[in-house]
Structure 1
Amino acid sequence: MQVKIKDQPFYIQSTAVLFGLILLVYVLSTLADILVPLAFAAFLAILLNPLCNRLQRYKIPKFLAIVIAMLIMILAIATVFYFLSTQIVQFGDSLPMLQKKFESITTELKNWLQTTFGLEIAKQEQMLKEALNHSQAMVGRTLNGVLGTLAIIFLLPVYIFLMLFYKTLILNFLYEVFSEENSKKVSDVLSETKTAIQSYIVGLLIEMIIVAIMNSAALVLLGVKYGILIGCIGAILNLIPYLGGIIAIALPVLMATVTKDGYSTQLGIIIAYIVIQFIDNNILVPRIVSSKVQINALMSIIVVLLGNQLWGVSGMFLSIPFVAVLKIIFDRIDDLKPWGKLLGDNVPTHHMGEKWGGRSKRKAVLPDKADS
C-alpha cells in the first residue's frame, strides 16, 4: 500500500519539507558556480527569444538569427561600458589629487577624535590596522566574487546560444515529463513565466536608464565631480533591491566630502537621492518594472537577503524573478496555492480566524437565548 506524505501527521509532513529544503539549499550552495551562470543565461535567453523569433520570420536561419540577436546584445553592453570607461579615465587623472585630499581629511578626523575623546593617534592607527587585517577575508571573498563574475561573462554567450538553439528540445522535455492532463497547466506556467521575466528585465533596464539620468542631473547641478559616472554607477547599484540604493547614496556623499568644503553639498545629495528613491519606488517600479512580478515587500526583503546569503550579489539580483516564477507555479497547484498567496501582494481585508472566531461566539450565545 502506498503511503502519501499529505496523509501523515503534521510533524511528519513538516519534517519532510524541512529536510527537502535543507537538501535543496545544500545543492544550490554547492553547485553555485554552475547554477548562477545558467540562471543568468536562462533569463537572458528568454529576453532574446522574441528577437530571434522575429528574425526567423524573415526567413533568416535559426543559427544566424541567434548569432545576430546575441551580437546586438553584446553591442549594447559594449556601448554602455565604453561610455563608463571614458568617465573612469577622467576619474583616474584626478586620483592623486583626490588621494591627497582624502589623507588631509583623515588627518583632521584623527586629530578631532584625539581632542574630543582622548583617543591617541597611535591607538587609532592600531585599531585601523586590526580592522584591515580582519577585512582580508572579506576582500578575498570579494575577489572570488569578481573572478566568478568574469567566469560568468565568458560562459554566458555559450549558454545563451545553446539554450536558444535547443529551445524546442527543452520545451518538449518539460511537456513530456508531466502527464498529458497537466499539459494545459504546464503551458500556462511557461507562458506566464516567459512574460514575467521579459517584462521584469526590460522594466529594470528602463528603470536603470531613468534613474541614471536623474542621478547624474542632480549631481551635476550640485557640482559634484564626476557626477555622470557616479550617477550611472548608482543606477546600476540600484538594480540590487533595497540594499543597492544605500550604497548608491554613500558614493556621491564620499566624493563631495573629499572634493568640497563644508557639508551643504552632502545634504543636497541626500535630499536629492531621497526624492529620486521616492519617485523610483512609488512611480517607476510599480508602473515600469512589471505588474507581473507581484511579490509583497516583506517577502521581497527576505528573499533578497536569503539570495545574498546563498549566492552573494548574483543571488540578490536573481532572487526576485526566481520567486516570481515560484509564485506562478504555486498559483497553478492546488496544494501550493497558500504559499502563492503568502508571496503575493494581494492583502486580504480580514483573516480567516475572525470568520471562525465569530461563528464560535455566535454558537456560544445561541443556547443562552434559548434558555431565556
Structure 2
Amino acid sequence: MTKNFPFYIKAPIVLLGIVITVFILSVLRDILVPLAFAALIAILLNPLTNRLQRKMPKVLAILLSMVIAIIVLLALMYFLSSQIAHFFDNLDAMKQKFTELLHTLQQWLEHTFGITNKKQVEMLNDAANSSKAMIGQTLSGILGVLSVVFLIPVYTFLILLYKTLILNFLYEVFSEENQQKVGEILSETKAAIQSYIIGLLIETSIVAVMNSCALLILGVQNAILIGVIGAILNLLPYIGGIIAIALPVLMATLTSDGYTTQLLIVAAYALIQFIDNNILVPRIVSSKVQINALISIVIVLLGAALWGIPGMFLSIPFIAVLKIIFDRIEGLKPWGKLLGDTVPTEHMGQLKRLRRRKTVSTKKL
C-alpha cells in the first residue's frame, strides 16, 4: 500500500534534495564539466564510430573518429587565430577612439544621472571582478586547465569504449517492467542530442556566413572574426544574440564616424535573427525536444551561476534530457509540459468548470 504524504512534508524533502544536488554539482565541477562535454561528444561521434567499426576493430574506430574530430577542431582554431591576428593591426587607433568615447560617456552619465567618475570606476571594477570570477570558476584548479587537453579526450574514448557496459547497467538497474521505458528514454535521448548538436553545428555555420557577409558589405573591420564569434554566441539562447549584436556595433563605433553603420548592423542582424529563428531552427535543428523561452533563459543563467561559461552551453542539452525523462514518467509529466513550448489554449480551471456545467445540465435533463 502506497502512502501519500502531504505537501508540507514532501516540499522540504524535495528542496533538501535539490540543495544537496546543487552542492555536489558545485563541489565536483572540475570533474563533472569535462565528463558532461565528453558525454555529448561521445553521443555525437557514436554514428561515425559505428560505421568505422564495421571495417576495423573497435578501438581503432574510436581513435580514428576522435582524430577526425580533433582535426576539424584544430582547423577551426587555426582559422580563428588567423583572424585574431588581423584584429591587432589597428589596435592603437581603436584604443584611442575607445578612450574618447569612454570619456564622453562618463561626462554624460555625470551630467544626466549625477554619477561621479569615482563611482563609475567602482562600478566598472565590480563588473570586471565578477567577470574574472566567472572565468576563474571555469578554469579553476589543475583539473580545470587539464580538462580540455586531457580529460575530455580520455573521457570520450572511455565512454565510447564502454558504451555497451554503461547501457547494460542502465537497463539492469531498473526492474523488468520499467525496462521498456528505460529503452525508450535512452533511444530518444541519443536521437535528440545527436539531432540537436548536428543541427546546431549546421545552423551556426550558416549564421556565421550570413553575419560575415553582412559585416563585409557594411565595411566593418574584422568582419569574419566578429561574424564567427557572433554565430558561436548565438548558441546561447537569447542572451548570446544580444552580445552578438553588441560586438559589431562596438567595432563600428570604434573604427568609423557617425551612427549609420551601427543602425545598418542592427537591421542586418535583426533580419538574420528572423531568418534563423523562423527558417533555420525549425528546419535544420529539428530537435525532438523544444524548450520554451522562459525556461531556456532561466536554465542558461543557472548554468552560468553553477559552472560558469561551460554551464551556459551545457544547460540546454541537460534540460532537454530532463524533459525526455519527465515526459516518460507518469508522475512527472506536468513538469515535462512546463519545460516544453506547447502552450495550451485554455487552462485546467476553465476546462474543469466547463465539465461541471455539462454534468449539471445533463443531470437536469
TM-score by length of 1: 0.90
Q: How does 1:334-353 map to 2 (within 5 A)?
A: 334-353=330-349
Please report how far the alpha carbon of residue 139 of structure 1 lies from its aligned counterpart in structure 2 after TM superposition.
4.0
**1:48 is matched by which residue type in structure 2?**
L
After superposing the two structures, state which structure 1 stretch, 234-243 or 340-349, moved more.
Answer: 340-349
| 1:6-60 CA-partner distances (Å, limit 9, x unpaired) | 61222222232222222222222222221111111101000001111100111x1
Distance in 2 (alpha carbons) for counterparts of 1:365 and 1:106: 72
Distance in 1 (alpha carbons) for counterparts of 2:124 and 2:108: 21
- Which of 121, 126, 131 aligns to 2:123? It is 131
Task: Call closer, same or farther: CA 1:276–1:185 in 2, change over 3 Å.
Answer: same
Q: Say whether 1:45 aligns with 2:61.
A: no
Please report how far the alpha carbon of residue 111 of structure 1 lies from its aligned counterpart in structure 2 after TM superposition.
5.7
Name the structure 2 match of 1:92: 88
**2:266 is matched by which residue type in structure 1?**
I
| 1:114-160 CA-partner distances (Å, limit 9, x unpaired) | 7x55979xx52x23432343245324314414525644312211110
Distance in 1 (alpha carbons) for counterparts of 2:297 and 2:212: 27
Q: Say whether 1:35 aligns with 2:27.
A: no
Name the structure 2 match of 1:55: 52
Distance in 2 (alpha carbons) for counterparts of 1:297 and 1:235: 19
Distance in 1 (alpha carbons) for counterparts of 2:351 and 2:238: 36
**1:36 is matched by which residue type in structure 2?**
V
Name the structure 2 match of 1:22: 19
Distance in 2 (alpha carbons) for counterparts of 1:40 and 1:79: 20
Distance in 1 (alpha carbons) for counterparts of 2:102 and 2:336: 51
| 1:259-286 CA-partner distances (Å, limit 9, x unpaired) | 0010000000011111111111111112
- Which of 64, 73, 87 aligns to 2:60? It is 64
Q: How does 1:1-372 map to 2 (within 5 A)?
A: 4=2, 7-58=4-55, 60-110=56-106, 117=112, 123-124=116-117, 126-145=118-137, 147-148=139-140, 150-154=145-149, 155-361=151-357
CA contact (8 A) 1:206 1:288 kept: yes
| 1:97-117 CA-partner distances (Å, limit 9, x unpaired) | 221222233344456667x55
After superposing the two structures, state which structure 1 stretch, 20-29 or 80-89, moved more.
Answer: 20-29
Distance in 2 (alpha carbons) for counterparts of 1:173 and 1:231: 44
CA contact (8 A) 1:222 1:269 kept: yes
Please report how far the alpha carbon of residue 204 of structure 1 lies from its aligned counterpart in structure 2 after TM superposition.
0.7
CA contact (8 A) 1:293 1:321 kept: no
CA contact (8 A) 2:138 2:308 kept: no
Task: Call closer, same or farther: CA 1:231–1:145 in 2, change over 3 Å.
Answer: farther
Distance in 1 (alpha carbons) for counterparts of 2:98 and 2:127: 20
User: Gaps spanning 5+ residues in structure 1: where?
Assistant: none
Task: Call closer, same or farther: CA 1:231–1:118 in 2, change over 3 Å.
Answer: closer
Distance in 2 (alpha carbons) for counterparts of 1:119 and 1:366: 70
Distance in 2 (alpha carbons) for counterparts of 1:211 and 1:186: 36
**2:119 is matched by which residue type in structure 1?**
M
Distance in 1 (alpha carbons) for counterparts of 2:333 and 2:134: 39
| 1:135-190 CA-partner distances (Å, limit 9, x unpaired) | 45324314414525644312211110111111111111111111122221111111
Task: Call closer, same or farther: CA 1:135–1:344 in 2, change over 3 Å.
Answer: closer
Please report how far the alpha carbon of residue 92 of structure 1 lies from its aligned counterpart in structure 2 after TM superposition.
1.3
Task: Call closer, same or farther: CA 1:366–1:252 in 2, change over 3 Å.
Answer: same
CA contact (8 A) 1:304 1:319 kept: yes
Q: Secondary structure at the match of 2:139?
A: helix
Q: Secondary structure at the match of 1:7?
A: coil
Distance in 1 (alpha carbons) for counterparts of 2:139 and 2:96: 31
Please report how far the alpha carbon of residue 364 of structure 1 lies from its aligned counterpart in structure 2 after TM superposition.
6.0
Give aligned-pair identity as a percent. Answer: 60
Distance in 1 (alpha carbons) for counterparts of 2:108 and 2:124: 21
CA contact (8 A) 1:241 1:317 kept: no
After superposing the two structures, state which structure 1 stretch, 21-30 or 147-156, moved more.
Answer: 147-156
| 1:313-344 CA-partner distances (Å, limit 9, x unpaired) | 22221121111111111122112122222222
Task: Call closer, same or farther: CA 1:231–1:182 in 2, change over 3 Å.
Answer: same
After superposing the two structures, state which structure 1 stretch, 308-317 or 81-90, moved more.
Answer: 308-317
